Amino acid sequence: MDKPSITKENVNLLFDSPYIKVFDLQYAPGHHYYDATRRSADNLVALKSDEAVKTMTPDAVSCIVILRTPNDEPRILFSHEFRYPAGQFLLSVPAGLIDPADLDEENPLFTTAIREIHEETGLVVKDTDKIRLVSPFLYSTPGMTDESNALVSVVMDLPDLTGLTQSGAEGSECFDGFSLLTREEARKVLESGRDEYGNFYSVYTWAALMYFVSDLW
């Protein structure tokens, strides 16, 4: 089946703000689809060529942070971050948008990951820590947005956990502590589909849990 063709002339801006936009994508005469996005009109994924889509940079980076401390088994690090659409503190991975300046760095995804981990956890990624690209580009919910995240794994060796802090929260960010889960605890969260407080969580948290318990790191 031929895919619908969306041209720039058939894209209309319905809502504009500094943080989110909504576009009407007219994919056939009289037929409309709506895209909530952070991207500008000239950077919408729907307008890119097949080749451009295969090489584009995601909007953000989500981080799978695994901590190893002496005499303890490895643990995966999550925060409890308030998510406004859900109205709850949800079990979340450190994550953030790629800054324009990051694109000038040798590895923009790693640059973003290192910065966001420091801002949201207080931890500084060292040259001796293991940083790895898990996935270069994942769509979030492509039925309503073209937003995307890369997944980056960071395994950190620490003498202790005294450096953990959420004092670096910026803007709308709101945190309520950390959860450091062993493999067995992570499996229980996966099996139940809820965190230790009974709350549901995002697909990126699910992916981080699966990555950790599968020993892919």
Count Cβ neighbours within 10 Å for each residue of 6-45 and write b for 16 or more, e otherwise.
Answer: beeebbeeeeeeeeebbbebbeeeeeeeebebbbeeeebb
Beta bridge partners of 81: 90, 175
User: Does residue 169 carry a pLDDT above 90?
Assistant: no
Q: What percent of the chain clears pLDDT 90, i.e. is strictly above it?
A: 95
**What secondary structure does DSSP assign to 30-57, as a single string?**
TEEEEEEESS-GGG-GGGS-HHHHHHPP
Can you give the pLDDT at residue 170? Answer: 83
If 0-12 CB within 10 Å is exposed, 13-18 middle and 19+ buried, where does residue 177 land?
Answer: exposed
> In whole angstroms, what is the distance from residue 158 CA to residue 212 CA?
18
User: Does residue 35 carry a pLDDT above 90?
Assistant: yes
> In whole angstroms, what is the distance from residue 96 CA to residue 112 CA?
7
pTM score above 0.85: yes
Can you give the pLDDT at residue 106? Answer: 94
Beta bridge partners of 79: 92, 178
Closest CA to 173 of 98, 113, 124, 119: 119
Question: Which residue carries 């991975």 as its tokens?
Answer: 93
Q: Which residues contact residue 45 at a Cβ distance below 8 angstroms, ignoring those fewer than 6 apart?
A: 39, 53, 56, 146, 148
Can you give the pLDDT at residue 108? Answer: 98
- The encoded tokens of residue 86 equal 């859900």
Of the pLDDT bands very low, low, confident and very high (cuts 50, 70, 90), residue 4 is confident
